[in-house]
Amino acid sequence: MVMKRREFLKGTAAIGLGGVAAGLMGRTALAAEGTLDIFFNSDTNVVEFWGSAIKPAFEAANPGTTLNLVSGGGGASMNALAERAFAALQSGTDPQIDMMEAIGPYHPEGAIEAGLWDDFSTLNLSNMSKVNPAVIDNQWSLPYRGSQVVMMYNSEKVPTPPKTFEELVAWIKANPGQFAYARPDLGDSGACFIERALQEVMGRDESLFTNENYTPEYAEPMFAKLWVLLNDIAPSLYKGGEYTGGNTPSIQLLASGVISMTIAWSDMALVAMNEGVVPETTAVAQLQDLAFIGGYSSVLVPTNAANHEMSLKLADFLISPEVQNKVVTDLGGFPSINWSEMSPELQAKFANVATTSIPTFPGPWEPALFDGWYRNVASNLTRS
Amino acid sequence: MSDTLSSATAPASAPLTKWRPTGLLFIAAPILLIAIFLFYPALRSIWGTIYVRQPDGSYAFSIASYLYFFSDSYSLTNLGRTFWTTIVTMVLLIAINLPIAIYLRFSGSRLAVFIQVLALFPMFVPGIVIVYALIRYLGPNGLLQTLLEVVGIGGFQSPYLTPWGPVIGMVWDAMPFTLLVLTAGMSGIATSAIEAAQDVGAGRLRILFSIILPQIKNSLLVVTSLNFLGLFGQAFMPFMLGPTSPEMMGPFMLRTFSTVRDPLQAATQATIVFALCSVAGLAYVRSIARRRAAELVK
């Protein structure tokens, strides 16, 4: 039995390696003059978006160029590809990579110092001035699509959406039963709501929360203030303090008309609005004092790419209004360029979501925050 | 499931006369698999709840996580909610399915076939589809509420996100299995016995309590114990349809493990659930063993 199992493991490992080798060879064989090899860390829906919205337009505008869109196969293999690009840089050979999507520039170590990635702050791409400075994380990553948590509401019942968290709380209390957010562990939108509330009770000071500084002693007094705020609004929530089971159920509740406002991810909200599963009067808005949490996906271009000129041309195309409009309409994403550069219809539709800040919240805080929420906020509901 | 069915319904087979080692050889492979992939990891995690890593890195015996569970009112409320949901669901399942099973046993009409197909239908629908369909149907401003308002009944309170939400979802989900076991049990009742009772003037209720129920006692026991096992650990229906708090043990364990990132407490909760469920498991095994023994005596 043991022998057999070992042989079995060896066999599967060999098949796995063979598959990887075949895959790499396939990629090598495809590299050719005028073919841009682009590797994706994002899901297939994003690759499909490139295939239908970006590839045809770019290839038509640049005859002789072909975009070869390759699913990178997850973080570990994307890292391996970045290592390959770095090794090629050191040996002066062709990395067979012209662009990498949705990974950071920090792996492999030393790559930035060695000049592996293009520095977009010095390249003067023609569309660079259109990019919203708030969404740029570092000069090597060119952000091209985003998702941010927003307020999603029925504009018939909410003519002027809240602009600050304080106004949001006031609106919730003035309209009992009309607001719901998701349980923090089941929908990130709900997590973002209580995290934004935590930032609110701590004076909107983002620097208080970092990846390294969570300790129970440090966090407890802050949480205590948060529970007061959340318990204060709980009786004014849907069903006197009930919480939805995820991002989609929140939107569903809004769609059914029982509530007038909820918290949602922008891409899910936009897809729901484009597909018409929510009423025509549905709209989204962003807080203007400190926005809800969000994140942007970027592309990296290796400086040693064989088709370097063309890769930069593609990068410039990505942040053109032409592609950015499609990011909103076809992908349900957020544009990385300023809303003022977008098509007038989209500008009008999303006038309330333009943001000047895209905060993040450190993961190490979440286990204690979420469990505390269950024990101190969710369990206080008394059913009549 | 087919095991349960056959053991609950199979006619007495040829008695086992000789003890043959080849028989054991046949079951060696599955037992080994169960031992390696189920028993060993389960025992390890149970062991891990009492032989605990201390802050200084050493290991020592400790029942602190159990003491915490039984002194934590939040955990106990969740356990209580799980019992409530399980028992209410089981009672409803029997109340709904027993009449159907009796009807199917004594009616030969085409309608009976149709009803049987209809009752088994949930088996072919994936849980996630049922959940979203139920939310659309039973949810606030859903189809049911709209229909009720059309006929002039207002004041509908949606069970969505209340303790009744998961009960309804789980009744839907467990109905086909319950009905299958009960109809299988029913088919073992001899028509002649009922006719004999009618001849001596027994009323319908009398027939139900004195003839039908005693004969399907085993099926009822099987269905109760297996449903208990299935319902008690349910995680999906409760967190899609149920209230945020109190939680059922299924979502609570899941959350403790993945969100709170406290594997020790999650394992402790799982061990407690396992201990409670093994009572139901024991009842099931005993009922099977009794039947086996009875068959061997014949």
In contact, A298 and A291? CB cutoff 8 Å: no
Is B176 a residue whose pLDDT tops 90? Answer: yes
Q: What is residue B155's predicted lDDT score, i.e. its pLDDT?
A: 82
Q: Which of B145, B240, B245 would you mutate first to test chain A, the one with the most A CBs within 10 A?
A: B245
In this predicted model, what pLDDT tens digit does every residue of A359-368 receive, in sequence order? 878 888 988 9
Q: What is residue B24's predicted lDDT score, i.e. its pLDDT?
A: 82
Range with top average pLDDT, A66-75, A224-233, B276-285: A224-233
Kindly report the CA angle at A77 between A112 and A360, in degrees rounded to 5? 60
CA proximity to A220, closest of A370, A360, A369: A369
Q: Do B260 and A383 touch (CB under 8 A)?
A: no
Nearest to A245 among B77, B140, B240 (CB): B240
CA proximity to A23, closest of A99, A65, A81, A87: A81
Please report, for chain B, the start and end positions of each structural domain, with discontinuous segments joined by +. 74-297
Q: What is residue A221's predicted lDDT score, i.e. its pLDDT?
A: 95
In the block, which residue shows the tokens 């829906």? Answer: A45
What average pLDDT does the segment B108-120 reach?
86
DSSP-derived secondary structure letter, A182: B
Residue with the bigger pLDDT between A187 and A90: it is A90
Helical pair A266-275 and A247-255, crossing angle rounded to 10 deg = 40
Could you say which of 3.50.50.60, 3.40.50.300, 3.20.20.150, 1.10.3720.10 is the CATH number of the domain covering B74-297?
1.10.3720.10
Q: Do B240 and A249 touch (CB under 8 A)?
A: yes
Q: Residues of chain B whose C-beta is under 8 A from some C-beta in A?
A: 32, 74, 77, 135-136, 139-142, 161-162, 239-241, 243-247, 255-256, 258-262
Instruction: List, as ranges, residues 245-264 from A with C-beta within 8 Å of B.
Output: 245-246, 249, 252-253, 256-258
Q: Distance between CA atoms of A274 and B266, rounded to whole angstroms?
A: 41
A11 pLDDT band (50/70/90 cuts)?
very low
Q: Do B244 and A375 touch (CB under 8 A)?
A: no
Q: How far is B244 from chain A (nearest CA, A)?
A: 6
Is A12 a residue whose pLDDT tops 60? Answer: no
Residue with the bigger pLDDT between B25 and A202: it is A202
Q: Do B140 and A186 touch (CB under 8 A)?
A: no
Q: What is residue B141's predicted lDDT score, i.e. its pLDDT?
A: 85
A143 upstream amide cis, omega within 30 of 0: no
Q: What is residue B65's predicted lDDT score, i.e. its pLDDT?
A: 93
B5 pLDDT band (50/70/90 cuts)?
very low
CA proximity to A202, closest of A339, A322, A369: A369
Q: What is residue A381's predicted lDDT score, i.e. its pLDDT?
A: 60
All residues of chain A having their beta carbon less than 8 Å from the beta carbon of residue B266 are none
Q: What is the mean pLDDT of chain B?
A: 87
Nearest to B244 among A1, A256, A378 (CB): A378
Q: How far is B60 from chain A (nearest CA, A)?
A: 25
Percent of chain B with pLDDT over 90: 40
Q: Do A383 and B162 touch (CB under 8 A)?
A: yes
In this predicted model, what pLDDT tens digit does every residue of B218-241 receive, in sequence order? 899 999 999 999 999 898 899 889
**Assigned token pair, A163:** 């602009």
A177 touches chain B (CB under 8 A): no
**CA–CA distance from B262 to each of A128, B52, B218, B249, B250 (Å)?**
46, 13, 41, 15, 15
Q: Which of A68-77, A98-107, B56-65, B265-274 has the lowest mean pLDDT?
A: A68-77
Give me the domains of chain A, ranges plus CATH numbers: 2-144+297-342 (3.40.190.10), 146-294+357-380 (3.40.190.10)
Percent of chain B with pLDDT over 70: 93
Q: What is residue A268's predicted lDDT score, i.e. its pLDDT?
A: 85
In this predicted model, what pLDDT tens digit does every residue of A276-320 receive, in sequence order? 889 999 999 999 888 898 778 899 999 999 999 999 999 999 999
Q: What is residue A8's predicted lDDT score, i.e. its pLDDT?
A: 40
A357 pLDDT band (50/70/90 cuts)?
confident
Q: Do A242 and B161 touch (CB under 8 A)?
A: yes
Helix (H) or strand (E) holding A33: none
Q: What is the mean pLDDT of chain A?
A: 86
What average pLDDT does the segment A246-253 reach?
89
Is A5 a residue whose pLDDT tops 50? Answer: no
Q: Do A257 and B32 touch (CB under 8 A)?
A: no
**Assigned token pair, B14:** 């040829």
Instruction: List, as ranges, residues 359-378 from A with C-beta within 8 Å of B.
Output: 366-368, 370-371, 374-375, 378
Is B253 a residue whose pLDDT tops 90? Answer: yes
What average pLDDT does the segment A124-150 reach?
90
A18 pLDDT band (50/70/90 cuts)?
very low
In this predicted model, what pLDDT tens digit does every residue of B34-66 receive, in sequence order? 999 999 999 998 999 999 888 888 888 999 999
Is B146 a residue whose pLDDT tops 70? Answer: yes
Q: Distance between CA atoms of B64 and B66, rounded to whole angstroms?
A: 5
Q: What is residue A29's predicted lDDT score, i.e. its pLDDT?
A: 43
Q: Do A370 and B260 touch (CB under 8 A)?
A: yes
Q: Do A242 and B241 touch (CB under 8 A)?
A: no
Is B8 a residue whose pLDDT tops 50? Answer: no
CB-defined contacts A:B, below 8 A: 62
For A131-152, give the DSSP string.
Answer: B-GGG--STT-EEEEEEEEEEE
In contact, A381 and A242? CB cutoff 8 Å: yes
Residue with the bigger pLDDT between B217 and B297: it is B217
Q: What is residue B298's predicted lDDT score, i.e. its pLDDT?
A: 62
B15 pLDDT band (50/70/90 cuts)?
low
Q: Do B142 and A256 touch (CB under 8 A)?
A: yes
A244 touches chain B (CB under 8 A): yes
All residues of chain B having their beta carbon less than 8 Å from the beta carbon of residue A227 are none
